[in-house]
Amino acid sequence: MLSATPQTPIPAMPPMPLHPARERLMRLPEVLHVTGISRSTLYELSSRKAFPANVSLGGKSVAWVESEIHHWVAERIAARQQENHA
């Protein structure tokens, strides 16, 4: 005879995208190298919301999303090109 035992439901997980984004985090020295700005300038721009926000890694550790940093650099280049054509 088969016994009817209650089964524990499997927790629902959000569907995984077919091609998950592979974002990379950059620490401060790499961000400064890629952007060419100083640490004080980075924090000054951040305070004015003119630079991508950092991501907390826990404790006092932070990093920046690589694609956001490259986008910020590309915006600076585009602004320069618009100024040259004006």
pLDDT tens for the chain, 86 residues: list them: 555 656 656 666 666 666 666 899 999 999 999 999 999 999 999 999 999 999 999 999 999 999 999 999 999 999 998 888 77
Nearest partner of 31 among 55, 11, 1, judged by Cα: 55
pLDDT at site 19: 61
Q: What six digits make up the tokens of 7?
A: 């089964």
* Amino acid identity at 3: S
Instruction: Give the span between the Cα atoms of 49 and 53, in whole angstroms.
Output: 8
pLDDT at site 84: 82
Nearest partner of 75 among 43, 51, 59, judged by Cα: 51
Instruction: Give the span between the Cα atoms of 43 and 56, in whole angstroms.
Output: 15
